[in-house]
A = this chain, B = another copy of it.
Protein backbone atom coordinates (compact mmCIF):
# COMPACT_ATOMS: atom_id res chain seq x y z
CA UNK A 1 0.00 0.00 0.00
CA UNK A 2 2.93 2.31 0.56
CA UNK A 3 4.07 2.39 -3.05
CA UNK A 4 1.45 3.86 -5.30
CA UNK A 5 1.91 3.37 -9.04
CA UNK A 6 2.40 6.63 -10.86
CA UNK A 7 -0.48 7.47 -13.11
CA UNK A 8 0.64 7.20 -16.71
CA UNK A 9 0.59 10.40 -18.69
CA UNK A 10 -0.84 11.53 -22.00
CA UNK A 11 2.38 10.39 -23.67
CA UNK A 12 1.07 6.89 -23.91
CA UNK A 13 -2.12 7.90 -25.64
CA UNK A 14 -2.64 8.17 -29.37
CA UNK A 15 -3.01 11.55 -31.02
CA UNK A 16 -6.43 10.78 -32.50
CA UNK A 17 -8.28 12.20 -29.52
CA UNK A 18 -9.70 9.15 -27.86
CA UNK A 19 -12.27 9.81 -25.25
CA UNK A 20 -10.59 11.55 -22.34
CA UNK A 21 -9.38 9.46 -19.42
CA UNK A 22 -12.63 7.92 -18.25
CA UNK A 23 -13.23 9.26 -14.78
CA UNK A 24 -16.96 9.80 -14.85
CA UNK A 25 -18.43 6.70 -16.36
CA UNK A 26 -17.29 3.15 -16.22
CA UNK A 27 -19.00 1.67 -19.18
CA UNK A 28 -21.19 -0.38 -16.91
CA UNK A 29 -20.61 0.62 -13.33
CA UNK A 30 -23.64 -1.31 -12.17
CA UNK A 31 -22.23 -4.54 -13.52
CA UNK A 32 -18.78 -3.75 -12.12
CA UNK A 33 -20.28 -3.10 -8.69
CA UNK A 34 -22.15 -6.38 -8.77
CA UNK A 35 -19.08 -8.38 -9.72
CA UNK A 36 -16.84 -6.68 -7.22
CA UNK A 37 -19.45 -7.24 -4.49
CA UNK A 38 -19.73 -10.92 -5.38
CA UNK A 39 -15.94 -11.23 -5.38
CA UNK A 40 -15.63 -9.58 -1.98
CA UNK A 41 -18.39 -11.70 -0.48
CA UNK A 42 -16.73 -14.83 -1.79
CA UNK A 43 -13.37 -13.80 -0.38
CA UNK A 44 -14.36 -12.24 2.93
CA UNK A 45 -17.92 -13.26 3.64
CA UNK A 46 -21.00 -11.07 3.70
CA UNK A 47 -19.93 -9.24 6.83
CA UNK A 48 -16.70 -8.31 5.09
CA UNK A 49 -18.53 -6.38 2.40
CA UNK A 50 -18.35 -2.61 2.82
CA UNK A 51 -19.61 -0.20 0.22
CA UNK A 52 -16.64 2.05 0.85
CA UNK A 53 -14.12 -0.68 0.00
CA UNK A 54 -16.05 -1.72 -3.10
CA UNK A 55 -16.09 1.83 -4.37
CA UNK A 56 -12.43 2.32 -3.62
CA UNK A 57 -11.46 -0.87 -5.42
CA UNK A 58 -13.35 0.36 -8.47
CA UNK A 59 -11.73 3.79 -8.29
CA UNK A 60 -15.03 5.42 -7.53
CA UNK A 61 -16.48 7.41 -4.68
CA UNK A 62 -18.15 5.50 -1.90
CA UNK A 63 -21.49 7.04 -2.76
CA UNK A 64 -21.40 6.41 -6.50
CA UNK A 65 -23.18 3.15 -5.84
CA UNK A 66 -26.39 4.91 -4.90
CA UNK A 67 -26.93 5.85 -8.55
CA UNK A 68 -27.40 2.17 -9.33
CA UNK A 69 -28.79 0.60 -6.17
CA UNK A 70 -31.21 1.92 -3.61
CA UNK A 71 -29.01 0.77 -0.74
CA UNK A 72 -26.71 -2.01 0.40
CA UNK A 73 -29.60 -4.41 0.76
CA UNK A 74 -30.59 -3.87 -2.88
CA UNK A 75 -27.03 -4.62 -3.95
CA UNK A 76 -27.06 -7.86 -1.98
CA UNK A 77 -30.43 -8.77 -3.42
CA UNK A 78 -29.01 -8.33 -6.91
CA UNK A 79 -26.01 -10.49 -5.99
CA UNK A 80 -28.47 -13.14 -4.82
CA UNK A 81 -30.34 -12.91 -8.11
CA UNK A 82 -27.15 -13.50 -10.08
CA UNK A 83 -26.51 -16.50 -7.87
CA UNK A 84 -29.86 -18.09 -8.70
CA UNK A 85 -29.19 -17.54 -12.39
CA UNK A 86 -25.81 -19.28 -12.15
CA UNK A 87 -27.38 -22.10 -10.14
CA UNK A 88 -30.13 -22.66 -12.69
CA UNK A 89 -27.60 -22.80 -15.53
CA UNK A 90 -25.47 -25.31 -13.60
CA UNK A 91 -28.50 -27.51 -12.91
CA UNK A 92 -29.75 -27.55 -16.50
CA UNK A 93 -26.24 -28.16 -17.81
CA UNK A 94 -25.79 -31.21 -15.56
CA UNK A 95 -29.23 -32.60 -16.43
CA UNK A 96 -28.57 -32.32 -20.15
CA UNK A 97 -24.94 -33.47 -20.04
CA UNK A 98 -25.82 -36.76 -18.35
CA UNK A 99 -28.62 -37.48 -20.77
CA UNK A 100 -31.53 -36.64 -18.43
CA UNK A 101 -33.41 -39.49 -16.78
CA UNK A 102 -31.97 -41.14 -13.72
CA UNK A 103 -28.28 -40.27 -14.24
CA UNK A 104 -29.23 -36.74 -15.24
CA UNK A 105 -31.21 -36.36 -12.02
CA UNK A 106 -28.35 -37.52 -9.86
CA UNK A 107 -26.01 -35.17 -11.73
CA UNK A 108 -28.39 -32.30 -11.00
CA UNK A 109 -28.30 -33.09 -7.30
CA UNK A 110 -24.51 -33.22 -7.31
CA UNK A 111 -24.31 -30.00 -9.31
CA UNK A 112 -26.54 -28.26 -6.78
CA UNK A 113 -24.50 -29.26 -3.76
CA UNK A 114 -21.21 -28.58 -5.52
CA UNK A 115 -22.34 -25.10 -6.50
CA UNK A 116 -23.10 -24.29 -2.88
CA UNK A 117 -19.85 -25.74 -1.57
CA UNK A 118 -17.83 -23.92 -4.22
CA UNK A 119 -19.54 -20.60 -3.47
CA UNK A 120 -20.51 -20.79 0.18
CA UNK A 121 -20.79 -17.08 0.93
CA UNK A 122 -22.61 -16.32 -2.28
CA UNK A 123 -24.97 -19.19 -1.52
CA UNK A 124 -25.65 -17.81 1.95
CA UNK A 125 -26.64 -14.48 0.45
CA UNK A 126 -29.06 -16.26 -1.88
CA UNK A 127 -30.85 -17.71 1.13
CA UNK A 128 -30.26 -14.79 3.43
CA UNK A 129 -33.88 -13.76 3.68
CA UNK A 130 -34.12 -11.29 0.82
CA UNK A 131 -37.04 -13.28 -0.54
CA UNK A 132 -38.81 -13.24 2.80
CA UNK A 133 -38.94 -9.44 2.92
CA UNK A 134 -42.32 -7.68 2.90
CA UNK A 135 -41.74 -6.54 -0.68
CA UNK A 136 -39.07 -8.74 -2.20
CA UNK A 137 -37.20 -7.74 -5.35
CA UNK A 138 -39.41 -9.12 -8.16
CA UNK A 139 -36.37 -9.98 -10.29
CA UNK A 140 -35.00 -12.02 -7.42
CA UNK A 141 -38.28 -13.88 -7.00
CA UNK A 142 -38.36 -14.60 -10.70
CA UNK A 143 -34.81 -15.93 -10.82
CA UNK A 144 -35.35 -18.12 -7.75
CA UNK A 145 -38.55 -19.47 -9.27
CA UNK A 146 -36.61 -20.20 -12.47
CA UNK A 147 -34.10 -22.38 -10.67
CA UNK A 148 -36.93 -24.19 -8.92
CA UNK A 149 -38.69 -24.70 -12.24
CA UNK A 150 -35.67 -26.55 -13.67
CA UNK A 151 -36.18 -29.10 -10.92
CA UNK A 152 -39.92 -29.34 -11.51
CA UNK A 153 -39.39 -29.89 -15.25
CA UNK A 154 -36.96 -32.70 -14.59
CA UNK A 155 -39.39 -34.42 -12.22
CA UNK A 156 -42.33 -34.11 -14.62
CA UNK A 157 -40.26 -35.69 -17.35
CA UNK A 158 -39.26 -38.53 -15.05
CA UNK A 159 -42.90 -39.08 -14.16
CA UNK A 160 -43.80 -39.28 -17.85
CA UNK A 161 -41.08 -41.83 -18.51
CA UNK A 162 -42.22 -43.92 -15.54
CA UNK A 163 -39.24 -43.25 -13.29
CA UNK A 164 -41.07 -41.33 -10.58
CA UNK A 165 -44.44 -41.75 -8.88
CA UNK A 166 -47.17 -39.41 -10.05
CA UNK A 167 -47.28 -37.31 -6.89
CA UNK A 168 -47.89 -33.58 -7.15
CA UNK A 169 -44.73 -32.48 -9.00
CA UNK A 170 -44.55 -29.24 -7.01
CA UNK A 171 -44.63 -31.10 -3.72
CA UNK A 172 -42.02 -33.54 -5.02
CA UNK A 173 -39.82 -30.71 -6.21
CA UNK A 174 -40.06 -28.93 -2.85
CA UNK A 175 -39.01 -32.10 -1.11
CA UNK A 176 -36.03 -32.71 -3.41
CA UNK A 177 -35.01 -29.09 -3.19
CA UNK A 178 -35.17 -29.25 0.58
CA UNK A 179 -32.86 -32.26 0.57
CA UNK A 180 -30.13 -30.82 -1.63
CA UNK A 181 -30.47 -27.44 0.03
CA UNK A 182 -30.22 -29.08 3.43
CA UNK A 183 -27.14 -31.06 2.47
CA UNK A 184 -25.56 -27.95 0.98
CA UNK A 185 -26.25 -25.79 4.02
CA UNK A 186 -25.12 -28.37 6.55
CA UNK A 187 -21.93 -28.94 4.58
CA UNK A 188 -21.23 -25.22 4.31
CA UNK A 189 -21.99 -24.74 7.96
CA UNK A 190 -19.39 -27.28 9.03
CA UNK A 191 -21.73 -29.91 10.42
CA UNK A 192 -19.96 -32.70 8.58
CA UNK A 193 -16.49 -31.50 9.49
CA UNK A 194 -15.64 -34.00 12.20
CA UNK A 195 -17.21 -36.99 10.56
CA UNK A 196 -16.19 -39.01 7.58
CA UNK A 197 -18.81 -37.39 5.40
CA UNK A 198 -18.44 -35.33 2.28
CA UNK A 199 -21.11 -33.63 0.22
CA UNK A 200 -20.80 -35.82 -2.87
CA UNK A 201 -21.20 -39.19 -1.19
CA UNK A 202 -24.05 -37.98 1.01
CA UNK A 203 -25.81 -36.51 -2.01
CA UNK A 204 -25.43 -39.70 -4.01
CA UNK A 205 -26.70 -41.73 -1.08
CA UNK A 206 -29.65 -39.40 -0.52
CA UNK A 207 -30.69 -39.32 -4.17
CA UNK A 208 -30.64 -43.10 -4.33
CA UNK A 209 -32.52 -43.57 -1.07
CA UNK A 210 -35.06 -40.95 -2.05
CA UNK A 211 -35.90 -43.14 -4.99
CA UNK A 212 -36.14 -46.43 -3.15
CA UNK A 213 -37.06 -45.30 0.34
CA UNK A 214 -35.41 -45.91 3.67
CA UNK A 215 -38.20 -48.09 5.01
CA UNK A 216 -37.78 -51.82 5.37
CA UNK A 217 -39.74 -53.71 2.74
CA UNK A 218 -42.09 -56.17 4.40
CA UNK A 219 -42.62 -58.14 1.20
CA UNK A 220 -39.36 -59.80 0.09
Q: Which residue of B lies closest to A209 (CB)?
A: B175
One complex includes copies of this chain to the number of 2
- Selected from B127, B175, B202, B205, the residue in CB contact (under 8 A) with A202 is B175
Query: A204 → chain B, closest Cβ, in Å?
Result: 10
- Does chain B have a CB within 8 A of A92? no
Considering only residues 122-181 of chain A, those with a C-beta below 8 Å from chain B are 124, 127-129, 131-133, 136, 141, 144, 148, 162-165, 167, 170-172, 174-175, 177-181
- Does chain B have a CB within 8 A of A118? no
A215 touches B205 (CB 8 A): no
- Could you tell me how many residues of chain A have their Cβ less than 8 Å away from some Cβ of chain B? 51
Binary interface profile of A, 61-103, with partner B (CB < 8 Å = 1, else 0)?
0000000000000000000000000000000000000000000
- Selected from B128, B179, B191, B195, the residue in CB contact (under 8 A) with A179 is B179
- Does chain B have a CB within 8 A of A29? no
B211 touches A215 (CB 8 A): yes
A213 touches B212 (CB 8 A): yes
> What are 7 of the A-B contact pairs (CB < 8 Å)?
A127-B185, A128-B189, A131-B193, A136-B190, A165-B215, A171-B202, A181-B182
